[in-house]
Chain A
Amino acid sequence: MAYGVSGWREPTLAENLARAGVARRDFLKYCGELAAIFTVGGLAVAGTAGPAAAATTPVPGDLIAEKLGAVKKPSVVWLQLQECTGCMESTLRSGGTTVEDAVLNLLSVNYNELVMAAAGEAANKALDDTNAEPHILVVNGSIPTKDGGIYCTIGGKSAEQVLRESAKNASAILAVGACAVWGSVQASKPNPTGAVGVDEIITDKPVINVSGCPPIGEVITATIAYILTHDDLPKTDSEGRPLFAYDQRIHDACSRRAHYDAGEYVRTFDDEGARNGWCLYEMGCKGPSTFSACPVIKWNLGASWPIGSGHPCIGCTEKQFFDRFTPFYQTLPNVTGLGIEASAEKVGWGLVGATVAGVGIHAGVTALRLASSRRASEGSEPLQAFGDSERVWLPTPKRRVADPSGTGDAPTATEVAETPHVKDADASGEAE
């Protein structure tokens, strides 16, 4: 994907569009559409209204055109909160839109602690200046909420304060990586610092959840490129994950799937089956319950991918996989998680059922409408069945909670029932 420097030679978006031959009326039409989206999604255009007001007050398209036309190359604040920098490293390894493309040609990444030149006061000024204008916000890392935020401070501020300040004027928010999405390893039991994901803190705007520990580099950069290319947030599943990378289970596209169907399993690492590339299900593979495009995109310029290199999938794109998918080497229905109240059998069925239901969840809910519906449905989330929740969700693939937002975008029971993946539930059951 090539974004020439010349595309952003002019200072403002309007001038750049004119240079690229985009007609003024097309731009206005686009802004009119944006106005509709902003109204629905509760997005604020900087300087026009606060988030709460924007949710109810329509923003006129011509006002957006005026504001947006004056917008410069998209500015980005890329925060790193409580995390390990693995997500930035993964971004550095992206071979699609490369990090050079993203940082030099496509965006103005005014704040990212790993790569920025400035430090201290100068860095904080870059952050404050960018926060004051509309920008894309990318977040790596979780937010430790215990004890007044003492467990992660940046520039003397708590991670939560830093996040809130950057989210205020953000026109799109991407939570990148398992930490930013759900808290990941530090949120695992006993979660000593009270770590949570971005959408636990930022509840008035949609958050695109690019999950994975880390996510594939290409998926990270493609999510940003998607927004710029489509002028819209990507469609997501009920967990806020972009469908283009999370609409199928690893199991669906696994190169070892034929062996699963044929009952050819690796029984011990490095046995004859392992050398023949047989299915890793019995070695604890979480591919059947993990939504990710790993087998399709693969890793590091297509060099390999986890199952391709003989190790079972550990399910790192799924919620709290460190608690819910461990012990990693136990076969799926036996996964108990830590401190679980319910019996292993129930949870096993919960896992399988959630997998089945998960297929139905991927029905193309738009991110904008999703944010509210996801929150409203809290408590009936099927994925709670995975772990230590006391509300073990025993799924019946024929019934799913009706769309609480009333927008009609949630998957229907029929969609779930019709999916061919239901058969896997049986297969998993038999395997036990």
Chain B
Amino acid sequence: MAQRVVIDPLTRIEGHLRIELESEGGKISKAWSETTQFRGIETIVTGRDPRDAWAFVQRICGVCTSVHAIASINAVENAIGANPPEQALLIRDMVLASQEVQDHVIHFYHLHAMDWVNVPSAATADPAKAVAFAQAIGSTWKGNTLERMTAVRDTVQGILDSGQLTIFTGGYWDHADYRLPPEANLMAVAHYLDALEFQRSMIRIGTVFGGKNPHPNFLVGGMACTIDPNKSESINQVQTDEIADWIAESVEFVQTCYVPDALAIVGVYKDYFDIGAAQPNFLAVGMAGATFAGDPNNARVVSAHTEVKPGLLLGGDYATVHPFDPTKVEEWVSSAWYSYDAGDVGLTPDKGETTVHYTGPTPPYEWLGDNDKYTWCKAPRYDGMPIQVGPVARVLLAYAQGHARTKEIVDGAAKTLGIRLSQLNSTAGRTLARAVECLTSAEILAQTTFPTFVKNLKSGDLDVFDATHWDPESWPAESSGYSFVEVARGNLSHWVTIEHGKVARYQAVVPTTWLAGGRDASGHQGPYEESLAGNGKHPLADPKQPLEPLRTIHSFDPCMSCAVHVLDPDGVELQTVAS
């Protein structure tokens, strides 16, 4: 008899995701990915000054803060023909790179780790053994001291003694599938705390340039922060010295702490390289941070990793890179609470419609699955195919194009772990790919982006703003533009149409939408659903403690607020069709 399982709230993600499952004999047989929040921000942007749009759409998400702002600004600049100076582009690249490194670190330690790490077990660990364990896995992180491990063990013990488990309340701590020894758990909890401190420090790169974080400020046409080595009120040597330190910290943390930890954990849970595969189709326009103001085949504006081109890997062939044609992107609403005028068809982003058509139950409710429509998330498809985006897609694409550093890290990890490249399409594979990418991103920031910025500064290149296109009078009466950016969770694009100085149409196609969307008209499941119920083999030992599906869903790093990118391309007020 199939048993129904509801995971809602699915915690340790951004936003609101509900997963409904049917399981039988310890395996998942059916899955529904259900996004339960809708805000309609793109509708709200319509009619506004396009120079303000970044601030609105930035609020799509505060976890991947900055990324929507950068995508928006590139799309608007593409539309109005603004040409931000190189230094401004480099500043955006630095902010984006620092956001991505911070985001991956936060995801691994604070959102994902408790799927693998048993926190209360850390209280029983010998701190000396935790130090030894760290050494054994090649972690040279400076926090691996006996004093630190002892203090962290005492903290965990204190929480257990108080009888109030705070954020650890209700965790599945007696689940049989927590496999790490106590000393590894203690080390991981220590690194969890170290990672909090680390991210507080390194996100200041965004603060120096954007004034605050989350939600730093950006500017159409460049950046508002001035740079001048001989002025106290501009970014000068004082700030560049600080940034150099923070970048060095980032490389150090990722190299000596995050990557060894990730390798060790997926090594212990190696069967998860055979669990959680989604459709073997992958899309990226380059490596992390790749940015295009306009056509992704010839409008690159980013400075780093230019050798990796946009493309797709399809049908489990990890060697053949297919060219990317943006016109093959379509969104379906077969399973989402919207209706299209033309019925159950796929629409390209520039023709997209959003008419709310809620057919679900009035809350409170118990079960949404089995209905045709069950989510606020549309289902994007490329040439009709469900697609995976994100770190795993980018790592595989870079690998296929022979990117040397990616190949080196991936081959090293694969050898250590004894896995094949195709096994990156899995729960553990997505988690490993994120760590690999975090390292290449921190390195390129340290080795190319920041040094180029400093070199330009040295040669007197101080301009950060294109004033010639600021005044709306300088814009065409009607124009449209778009952007593609590879952000922490995958491929992001923003599309804008400007008429007479106002936003006439706005649209975002967001990474999590690709992944979290539901079934399409052909009955293809979305990648989340496929990863859980694609082959009937995904484990779920105890439906009361759904640890295994949490591991798989977390491996995608869901960002649900991003996923529901509801818009109204015609600028007409949203309509709700009562049902």
Taking Cβ atoms with an 8 Å cutoff, the residues of A that contact B are 5-6, 8-11, 72-73, 75, 80, 82-90, 92-95, 98-100, 103-105, 107-126, 144, 146-158, 161, 184-186, 188-193, 195, 213-214, 216, 268-270, 274-277, 294, 299-301, 303-312, 314, 316, 322, 326-329, 338
A149 neighbours in B (Cβ, 8 Å):
363
Q: Which of B216-233 contact A (CB under 8 A)?
A: 216-217, 219, 221-226, 228, 231-233
Q: Complex: how many Å from CA A107 to CA B242?
A: 34
A124 neighbours in B (Cβ, 8 Å):
9
Taking Cβ atoms with an 8 Å cutoff, the residues of B that contact A are 5-16, 18, 36-41, 43-44, 47-49, 51-52, 55-56, 59-63, 65, 106, 110-111, 114, 119, 154-155, 158-159, 161-172, 193, 196-197, 199-201, 203-204, 206-217, 219, 221-226, 228, 231-234, 242, 337, 356, 358, 360, 362-366, 376, 462-465, 467, 470, 544-546, 550, 561, 566, 573-574, 576, 578
> Does the CB pair B212–A306 fall under 8 Å?
yes
Q: Complex: how many Å from CA A269 to CA B209?
A: 14
- Our pick among A115, A157, A301 for the contact of B204 (Cβ within 8 Å) is A301
Q: Complex: how many Å from CA A154 to CA B110?
A: 21
> Does the CB pair B163–A72 fall under 8 Å?
yes
Q: Complex: how many Å from CA A120 to CA B62?
A: 23
> Does the CB pair B40–A193 fall under 8 Å?
yes
B225 neighbours in A (Cβ, 8 Å):
309-311
When C-beta atoms are compared, the residue in chain B nearest to A305 turns out to be: B211
A73 neighbours in B (Cβ, 8 Å):
162, 164
A104 neighbours in B (Cβ, 8 Å):
155, 159, 166
Q: Complex: how many Å from CA A192 to CA B566?
A: 10
Q: A6-B158, A185-B44, A329-B51 are in contact. Are A309 and B231 (CB under 8 A)?
A: no
CB distance from B199 to the nearest CB of A (A): 7
When C-beta atoms are compared, the residue in chain A nearest to B243 turns out to be: A303
- Our pick among B51, B59, B221, B573 for the contact of A185 (Cβ within 8 Å) is B59
A11 neighbours in B (Cβ, 8 Å):
162-164
Q: Complex: how many Å from CA A230 to CA B196?
A: 28
> Does the CB pair A189–B362 fall under 8 Å?
no
> Does the CB pair B544–A121 fall under 8 Å?
yes
Q: Complex: how many Å from CA A310 to CA B234?
A: 8
> Does the CB pair B233–A276 fall under 8 Å?
yes
**6 closest residue pairs by CB, A with B:** A86-B62, A277-B233, A117-B171, A118-B170, A5-B158, A306-B211
Additional pairs, 8, CB under 8 Å, beyond known A108-B166, A214-B215: A11-B164, A84-B14, A103-B167, A113-B13, A119-B7, A150-B360, A156-B366, A309-B208
Q: Complex: how many Å from CA A104 to CA B167?
A: 8
CB distance from B121 to the nearest CB of A (A): 13
- Our pick among B166, B170, B208, B561 for the contact of A85 (Cβ within 8 Å) is B561
> Does the CB pair B167–A116 fall under 8 Å?
yes
B360 neighbours in A (Cβ, 8 Å):
150
A188 neighbours in B (Cβ, 8 Å):
44, 56
Q: Complex: how many Å from CA A95 to CA B550?
A: 31
When C-beta atoms are compared, the residue in chain B nearest to A191 turns out to be: B44
28 contacts between A and B (CB under 8 A): A9-B161, A84-B14, A84-B60, A86-B65, A89-B214, A109-B166, A113-B9, A113-B16, A116-B168, A117-B167, A119-B546, A122-B170, A150-B38, A150-B360, A153-B363, A184-B59, A185-B59, A190-B44, A274-B224, A275-B226, A275-B231, A275-B234, A299-B211, A299-B213, A303-B207, A309-B216, A310-B226, A311-B211
B231 neighbours in A (Cβ, 8 Å):
275-277
Number of A-B contacts (CB under 8 A): 350
A195 neighbours in B (Cβ, 8 Å):
39
Q: Complex: how many Å from CA A308 to CA B216?
A: 12
Q: A119-B546, A311-B219, A329-B49 are in contact. Are A90 and B214 (CB under 8 A)?
A: yes
CB distance from A14 to the nearest CB of B (A): 14
- Our pick among A90, A117, A122, A147 for the contact of B114 (Cβ within 8 Å) is A117
Q: Complex: how many Å from CA A72 to CA B216?
A: 39
CB distance from A224 to the nearest CB of B (A): 13
CB distance from B172 to the nearest CB of A (A): 7
Q: Complex: how many Å from CA A92 to CA B65?
A: 14
Q: A84-B561, A213-B215, A214-B62 are in contact. Are A327 and B364 (CB under 8 A)?
A: no
Q: Complex: how many Å from CA A115 to CA B554?
A: 13
Q: Complex: how many Å from CA A80 to CA B154?
A: 30
> Does the CB pair B226–A270 fall under 8 Å?
yes
A294 neighbours in B (Cβ, 8 Å):
212
Interface of B is mostly: loop
Q: Complex: how many Å from CA A195 to CA B41?
A: 12
B223 neighbours in A (Cβ, 8 Å):
310
B9 neighbours in A (Cβ, 8 Å):
113, 119-120, 123-124, 154-155
B172 neighbours in A (Cβ, 8 Å):
117-118, 122
Q: A104-B166, A327-B51 are in contact. Are A152 and B16 (CB under 8 A)?
A: yes
CB distance from A282 to the nearest CB of B (A): 13
B214 neighbours in A (Cβ, 8 Å):
86, 89-90, 93, 214
B213 neighbours in A (Cβ, 8 Å):
93, 299-300
A270 neighbours in B (Cβ, 8 Å):
222, 224, 226, 463-465, 467
B337 neighbours in A (Cβ, 8 Å):
150
Q: A9-B161, A86-B214, A122-B170 are in contact. Are A93 and B199 (CB under 8 A)?
A: yes
> Does the CB pair B38–A303 fall under 8 Å?
no
Interface centre among B62, B208, B222, B358 (most CB of A within 10 A): B62
CB distance from A374 to the nearest CB of B (A): 26
> Does the CB pair A95–B200 fall under 8 Å?
yes
A114 neighbours in B (Cβ, 8 Å):
11-14, 110-111
> Does the CB pair A8–B158 fall under 8 Å?
yes
Q: Complex: how many Å from CA A186 to CA B335?
A: 24
CB distance from A219 to the nearest CB of B (A): 12
Q: Complex: how many Å from CA A129 to CA B102?
A: 34
Q: Complex: how many Å from CA A4 to CA B465?
A: 49
Q: A89-B65, A118-B171, A193-B39 are in contact. Are A269 and B200 (CB under 8 A)?
A: no
> Does the CB pair B215–A301 fall under 8 Å?
no
When C-beta atoms are compared, the residue in chain A nearest to B43 turns out to be: A192
Q: Complex: how many Å from CA A100 to CA B6?
A: 30
A126 neighbours in B (Cβ, 8 Å):
169-170
B59 neighbours in A (Cβ, 8 Å):
84, 86, 184-185, 213
When C-beta atoms are compared, the residue in chain A nearest to B204 turns out to be: A303
Q: Complex: how many Å from CA A87 to CA B519?
A: 32
CB distance from A94 to the nearest CB of B (A): 8
Q: A9-B162, A92-B200 are in contact. Are A269 and B358 (CB under 8 A)?
A: no
> Does the CB pair B574–A190 fall under 8 Å?
yes
CB distance from A8 to the nearest CB of B (A): 5
> Does the CB pair B364–A161 fall under 8 Å?
yes
> Does the CB pair B8–A154 fall under 8 Å?
yes
> Does the CB pair A119–B10 fall under 8 Å?
yes
Q: Complex: how many Å from CA A21 to CA B89?
A: 59
When C-beta atoms are compared, the residue in chain A nearest to B5 turns out to be: A120
Q: Complex: how many Å from CA A189 to CA B206?
A: 29
Q: Complex: how many Å from CA A152 to CA B38?
A: 6
CB distance from A271 to the nearest CB of B (A): 8
Q: Complex: how many Å from CA A115 to CA B9?
A: 12
CB distance from B91 to the nearest CB of A (A): 11
CB distance from B267 to the nearest CB of A (A): 22
Q: A6-B158, A115-B12, A322-B56 are in contact. Are A299 and B207 (CB under 8 A)?
A: yes
A216 neighbours in B (Cβ, 8 Å):
212
A146 neighbours in B (Cβ, 8 Å):
576
Q: Complex: how many Å from CA A278 to CA B52?
A: 22
A90 neighbours in B (Cβ, 8 Å):
62, 214
When C-beta atoms are compared, the residue in chain B nearest to A189 turns out to be: B44
Q: Complex: how many Å from CA A100 to CA B578?
A: 46
Q: Complex: how many Å from CA A137 to CA B63?
A: 22
> Does the CB pair B166–A186 fall under 8 Å?
no
> Does the CB pair A83–B561 fall under 8 Å?
yes
Q: A5-B154, A304-B207, A309-B211 are in contact. Are A119 and B11 (CB under 8 A)?
A: yes
> Does the CB pair A268–B467 fall under 8 Å?
yes
Q: A113-B11, A275-B233 are in contact. Are A269 and B196 (CB under 8 A)?
A: no
